[in-house]
Amino acid sequence: MSLMTSTDTEPDSTRSPGRATGRPGGVWLRAFGICAVVLALLFAATRLDLVPGFDDLFGEETQDRSGPAVLKSIQDMSSYEAASGNFQVVVDLEKDAKYLPDAIRGTRTLYVGAGTVSASVDLGKVVKDGVVVDEERTEATLRLPHAVLGKPALDPDRSYAVSKQRGLLDRLGDFFSDNPSGEQAVNKLAARHIGEAAKESGLTARAEKNTASMLKGLLGSLGFETVTVTFVD
């Protein structure tokens, strides 16, 4: 009587057909999902300040890699800056597209612009007969050009955007743009309004008054008893 052993293998009918055994794709997919959940939880904890010290671990770091400033030119100044005014304007700039609702195409920016405008008298433009001194050197008459306003200088520390509404197409354009959400238009508009306000503020008259007072004090300290300052075109 001989014993026979069979080496044939039969598929195990008890194995669950739904188990993904030996599939590396499923393992990597589950690992990726777990990592994504962990990162999301860490990000939420950082934003909500639930775990002390995470801000230092995942916080932003700013590095200034700018090159050295290069001197391009030097200009000799002869103007006496005699007055300066601080201004602030609220710019409400809206751009709409024809035949399209604002939700699709259009922007509206509310911007607070703050800056200064100076008024100066150019003493370098005094003509030859603009300064007359008597023989005793006790009286002096000065004829100076009128004061002029300088260009408005916006202060970036005091200027800011309050709100900005953009349509869907504008948001997509900012996403693919190298310079998204540029504020050049509102900056120019704020500077223009500040310049117009400076013209109505009386800065030039104040500058001429201060210049006359400065020159009278200076020449008075040199021994002049009478100093007359006039402003002409």
What pLDDT is recorded for position 59?
60
- From first to last of its 233 residues, the chain has per-residue pLDDT tens of 343 444 444 444 444 444 444 556 677 777 777 877 777 776 665 554 555 555 555 566 788 888 898 988 888 788 999 999 999 999 887 665 665 555 555 577 788 999 999 999 999 998 888 999 998 889 999 999 999 999 999 999 999 888 776 655 445 455 445 554 457 888 999 999 999 999 999 999 999 999 999 999 999 999 999 999 999 98
The Cα 115–Cα 117 span in angstroms is 7
Burial grade of 87 (CB within 10 A; 0-12, 13-18, 19 or more): buried
- The H-or-E segment that residue 112 falls in is strand 106-122
Best CA proximity match to 86, nearest among 213, 201, 185: 201
pLDDT score of 207? 96
Residue 166 has phi, psi (to 5 degrees) of -135, 145
Question: What is the structure's pLDDT at 5?
Answer: 42
- Check residue 57 and give its pLDDT: 54
Q: Residue 97 and residue 132: Cα distance in Å, rounded?
A: 63
Q: Could you give the CA distance from residue 100 to residue 143 in angstroms, rounded to a whole number?
A: 60
Side chain identity at residue 27, one-letter code: V
Which letter, b or e, does each residue of 154-176 get, where b requires 16 or more Cβ atoms within 10 Å of its Cβ? beeeebeeeeeebbeebeeeeee
CA distances from 201 to 95, 97, 100, 121 (A): 30, 37, 41, 17
Residue 16: what residue type? S
Residue 166 confidence (pLDDT): 62
